Structure 1
Amino acid sequence: MRNLYPFGLSLLALLGAASAAQAQVSEDPSYRKEFTYGINFNTRGGLIGGVAVRSTRVLDEKWSRFWGVEGVEVKHPKEQRVLNQNSGGSFVFGKSNYLFVLRPSYGMQRVIFRKAPESGVQVNALVGAGPSIGLLMPYYIYYDYTVRENRPGAPIQEDIRSEQYDPAVNSADSRILDRAPIFSGANETKARIGGHLRGALSFEYGRYRDAVAGIETGFLFELYPKELTILRAPNISDATLNTNFFPSVYLTLYIGHRS
């Protein structure tokens, strides 16, 4: 029992020192607003998922509220790029639509660990939600409809068309020459409304009070009333191949300023 007294006194001293240190860095922040913008990477996107902007207002030493907008491209997990050896063009076989999503968000953020004024890392936990505006834009391809006769010297009248992929018509992948320009079907874009929920941790860096840089990483769940058709395939229904639920893990690199 006697050996426990020194241990207890040491523990109380450590707790007191930790409380004092926390009180020292838990003062009200010197800023009230924060604006950040960044690049998003996620498990549903490509090399770069999209971009994000956010405005945060400090409520007290622990809590802040924020609103933001995120724009990303969502891809189907079964997308595979194919190279046409004859034309040199590349395309995603079976892709019928691009899916771009705008996500306005509103949420709350809590400081888990506040950094010292001029150094260190601040850790925040946040949760947010909002509508998801899905934009289905047709994926256009160059398809070769040329009829080639099996006799020497027969004239060839080339017939190459730019159109949205349709498995009932464009099933011969060897006749797909290339992907058409990305905005070829922009005038046929259709909007679909859903919703999303996110939870994340952010790690803020920065040596100055008026500047901020950091990393945010977390999960996002997105749901639509009906499935969104990205890929299509012969003899498989669109509902079987596609989904209306898009869970993902994301990471955002951001910078910004405070005032």
Structure 2
Amino acid sequence: MPFLSVGQEDDPFDYGQEFLFGVSTSTNSGFISGAFFRYSAKQTDRILQTYGIEFANIRHPQERKVQSNFYGSNIYEGKENYLMSMRLMYGYDALLFKKADRKGVQINAVMAGGPSVGFISPYYLRGESGELLQYSEYLSNPQGIIGAANYFAGFGEMDATVGLNLRLSLLFEFGTFKSSITGFEVGGVAEYFAQEVEIVPTGTKNYNFYPALFLSILFGSRK
């Protein structure tokens, strides 16, 4: 029994599975850029194998919010399409520093990547007569704009493209109890799509490669 007790104390990952949920902000999106779920299973004393899925909104670097000419609501000037990415991830968490019992900070290095699906849907404006139009249509037929229509206005016209994603990060955990996880993750993500995505097609370059820095707040449990 004493030998078993020592072995358990020496095991940095004295648990078998982790479940993480979180929200992120990134340099190529808004204040809340997306949300994710990750499941990790212990492989060795210091390595977890990770599977995850993330949904993230991606913005063009030249997107600019302006007031519409009607009611003063905000629209994105020149924006024609939304780009929403679904990222499937497979990778590893490596324990760098283990926190003391009920105090301190645990630091993990995270590397994950996998296939992406980019969902492209029209960004619609709502005219003063109630009709929906894209920014290019507004330029060819100027009229009063009430504001932006909701995201689902163009849902039925959605297109898709495939790609790849890779993320490298550090995860800082502050949870008081071993069975619960609270912390944040900071790092970078790079995403490449098979085709150039026209988010802002008028007067600017569009891309199929989207790198970004991100910060995530996360919560979870382990057992």
Matched residue SS, 1:183:
helix
- The structure 2 residue matched to 1:162, chosen from 132, 137, 140, is 132
The question of whether the paired residues in 2 share the 8 Å contact of 1:25 and 1:115 is answered with: no
Given residue 124 of structure 1, which amino acid in structure 2 is its aligned partner? N
Residue of structure 2 in register with 1:192 after alignment: 161
Distance in 2 between the 1:24 and 1:160 partners? 66
- The structure 1 residue matched to 2:188, chosen from 214, 219, 223, is 219
Residue of structure 1 in register with 2:118 after alignment: 134
Matches within 5 A, 1:19-58: 26-58=10-42
The question of whether the paired residues in 2 share the 8 Å contact of 1:76 and 1:231 is answered with: yes
Structure 1 alignment gaps of length 5 or more: 1-22, 145-158
Deviation (angstroms), 1:59: 1.4
RMSD of equivalent CA atoms: 2.0
Given residue 164 of structure 2, which amino acid in structure 1 is its aligned partner? G
Of structures 1 and 2, the larger Rg is shown by 1
Distance in 2 between the 1:173 and 1:98 partners? 22
Distance in 1 between the 2:17 and 2:103 partners? 20
Matched residue SS, 1:186:
helix
Q: 1:173 to 1:57 in 2, by over 3 A?
A: farther
Structure 2 alignment gaps of length 5 or more: 1-6
Per-residue Cα deviation, 1:33-88 (whole angstroms, up to 9, x for no partner):
01010111110110111111110111122111100111111011111112134433
The question of whether the paired residues in 1 share the 8 Å contact of 2:91 and 2:113 is answered with: yes
The question of whether the paired residues in 2 share the 8 Å contact of 1:112 and 1:124 is answered with: yes
The question of whether the paired residues in 1 share the 8 Å contact of 2:98 and 2:107 is answered with: yes
Q: 1:245 to 1:141 in 2, by over 3 A?
A: same
Deviation (angstroms), 1:25: 6.4
Higher deviation after alignment, 53-62 or 77-86: 77-86
The question of whether the paired residues in 1 share the 8 Å contact of 2:21 and 2:35 is answered with: yes
Q: Which runs of 4+ in 1 moved over 6 A?
A: none
- What percentage of aligned pairs have identical amino acids? 32
Deviation (angstroms), 1:175: 3.6
Alignment of 1:247 onto 2:211: yes
Per-residue Cα deviation, 1:97-123 (whole angstroms, up to 9, x for no partner):
111111010001111111123221111
The question of whether the paired residues in 1 share the 8 Å contact of 2:12 and 2:98 is answered with: no
Per-residue Cα deviation, 1:189-248 (whole angstroms, up to 9, x for no partner):
011100011111111111111111111111111111221010122xx4xxx521001000
Alignment TM-score, normalising by the size of structure 2? 0.90
How many residues of Structure 1 are paired with residues of Structure 2 in the alignment?
216
Q: 1:165 to 1:34 in 2, by over 3 A?
A: same
